[in-house]
Amino acid sequence: MPSLRDIKRRIKSVESTQQITKAMEMVSAAKLRKAQSRVESARPYGLKMQQMLESLASAAAGLRHPLFEERDVRKTLLVVVSSDRGLCGSYNTNVIRTASNYLKEALPGSVSLGFIGRKAADFFKKRPYPIAFSITDLGSKADIVRTRSIAADITEMFISGQVDEVKLLYTRFVSTVSYRITLERFLPVEKPKSDQDEIASDYIFEPDADRIFSDLVPRYCVTKILQAMLEAFASEHGSQMIAMGNATKNAGEMIDHLTLVRNKARQASITKELLDIVGGVEALK
C-alpha cells in the first residue's frame, strides 16, 4: 500500500488537474455560445443563397458557368475540416475515420486532400496520399478574409482542371450534445431541383446573366466554405466542453477514491500504533 505522503501528493495533483479541466470546460462553454449563435445566423443565409443560385441556374439554362460544369470524375479534392488542438473527445477521431474510409473506397491516386485544421493534417501527412493544401493556423476561428482566400484557391483548382470534383467533410452542429459527420459535394455546384423549373421562367436578368453569375457564384462558394467551418468549430467547442466536463467528473471520483484509501491507510497506521502500545504494556506486566 502506498504511504500517506504519496496518497496526499496524488490527491493534490488530481485536484490541480480538476481545476484546469473545470476552467477549460467553462471557456469551451463560452466559445460554444458564440459559435452556436454564428451557426444559427449563417444557416438561413446559406440556404437562401443556394436556393437562389439553383433557381437562377435553371432560368439561365443556356449559360455555361465553369463552376456548374459536370465532368467525368477522375480526380477528386477532399477538403477535411478538423480542429487545431485536441482535448475534444472523439471529434477528430470521427472525422479522420470517415476520411480514411472514403479514401479506402476510392481508386488509388484519384483523391487529393485539403486540410483545414491541424489534427487531420498531422494524421494524413504520415500516409501516402497527395496533399493539395494544409491550413493549420486558424485557431478554430472562421475569418472571412481567410475564408475568401481558401474558397478562391479551391475554385481555381476546379476551374483549371486540376480536380474534377470537390467534396467537403466536416462535422455538422445539431445540438450541444449531438453532431453529425457530413460529406457533401461542393463543386460542381448542384443542378437545380425539378420543382424549381416552373418558377425559373419568371426571372429577368438585368444587366445580364453572365455578370450576375460572375458575382453571385464566388459569393456562394465563400458562403459554403464559411458555413462548413462554422458548423465544424461549433461542434469542436461542444465536444471539448463535454470532454472537459467528463474529465472534471472523473477527477472528482478519483479524489473520492483516493480520500477513502488515505483514510483507510491512516486508520491502519493508528491501529498498528495502538497494537504496539498495548503489546508493550502487556510485555511490562
Q: What is the b/e burial string over 9-28, where b = at least 16 CB atoms within 10 angstroms of the residue's CB?
A: ebbeebeebbeebbebbeeb
pLDDT the model gives residue 196: 46
User: What is the C-alpha separation between 99 and 191, in angstroms, rounded?
Assistant: 25
User: What is the C-alpha separation between 272 and 274, in angstroms, rounded?
Assistant: 5
pLDDT the model gives residue 198: 47
pLDDT the model gives residue 242: 92
- Does the pTM of the predicted model rise above 0.75? yes
User: Average pLDDT for residues 147-171, to the nearest whole number?
Assistant: 91
Q: Which residue has the higher pLDDT, 63 or 115?
A: 115
Beta carbons of 115 and 206 less than 8 angstroms apart: no
User: Average pLDDT for residues 114-131, to the nearest whole number?
Assistant: 90
Local confidence band at 241 (pLDDT 50, 70, 90 cut-offs): very high
Local confidence band at 232 (pLDDT 50, 70, 90 cut-offs): very high
Using the structure block, give the residue that is written with the C-alpha cell 496520399: 129
Full DSSP string of 31-97: HHHHHHHHHHHHHHHHHHHHHHHHHHHHHTTT---GGG-----S-EEEEEE--SS--STTHHHHHHH
What's the chain's average pLDDT? 84
Local confidence band at 199 (pLDDT 50, 70, 90 cut-offs): very low
The answer for 221, left when phi > 0, alpha when psi is -120 to 50, beta otherwise, is alpha
